[in-house]
Amino acid sequence: MNDVDVWHSPTAKSRFKVTERTPERLTIEFENEVGDIGPPEHLHPDQDEEFAVLEGELLLRVRGREVRLSPGRSHLVPRGTAHTFHNAGSGRVRFTSQHRPPLGFEPFLKTIYDLDLDGRSNAQGQPGLLQLMVILKARRGEELLAAVPRFAQRGAAIVLGTIGELVGYRPEYVSERRRPAPR
């Protein structure tokens, strides 16, 4: 994967680039190393997500059931379905994730990866609580954890996200390494 327009998460051992962006879909190519940290089990209420493996082996967990994908195989995760994923092989895995419709997924993912790149994440590659709540408040329920009731997540995002905004957190973050040098 070429480093131009590639986002890195050193903690998650993952990187990605956007390969297609249309009003109907967003296609992202990921490359995850052995021992990667996948996202927490989550769901997208208004997006379908389809995974397709290009190289290596990807393990999806969909509604608690394991789905192993090898090169050439794909799996559609319908909107509202709890899922997570990680590298299940002995080498790197390259795969695509296609979101239909894209909604605000691209800036969300870039923000999460850039925060980790700048060392502003925990051991699972997730930002601190107030920063995360500011991000989720702006997403308005587009991303939800599977294990927490939706009303509780939305309420926490509104309350804690507002506090986070008051102390200076913003819903989008660009890594210091990506910012243009001051003139």
Give 1-13 as a DSSP string.
Answer: --STT-EEETTTT
Q: Give the pLDDT score at 4.
A: 52
Mean pLDDT of 112-140: 94
Give 3's pLDDT tier (boundaries 50, 70, 90): low
141: burial class by Cβ within 10 Å (0-12, 13-18, 19+)? middle
Q: Give the pLDDT score at 1.
A: 58
Q: How far apart are CA 168 and CA 53, in angstroms?
A: 39
Q: Give the pLDDT score at 178.
A: 78
The H helix count followed by the E strand count for the chain is 3, 11
Q: Give the pLDDT score at 103.
A: 94
Q: Give the pLDDT score at 120.
A: 95
Instruction: Parse the chain into domains and list their residue ranges.
Output: 7-100, 107-166
Give 177's pLDDT tier (boundaries 50, 70, 90): confident
Is the entire prediction scored with pTM above 0.85? yes
Write out pLDDT tens, residues 90-102: 999 999 999 999 9
Mean pLDDT of 137-141: 90
Q: Give the pLDDT score at 28.
A: 98
Q: How far apart are CA 96 and CA 54, in angstroms?
A: 7
Q: How far apart are CA 12 and CA 93, in angstroms?
A: 13
Mean pLDDT of 10-36: 97
Give yes or no for a contact between 30 and 16, defined as CB atoms under 8 angstroms apart. yes
CATH code: domain 7-100 is 2.60.120.10
Q: Which region, left, alpha or beta, applies to residue 56 given φ > 0 means left and ψ of -120 to 50 means alpha?
A: left
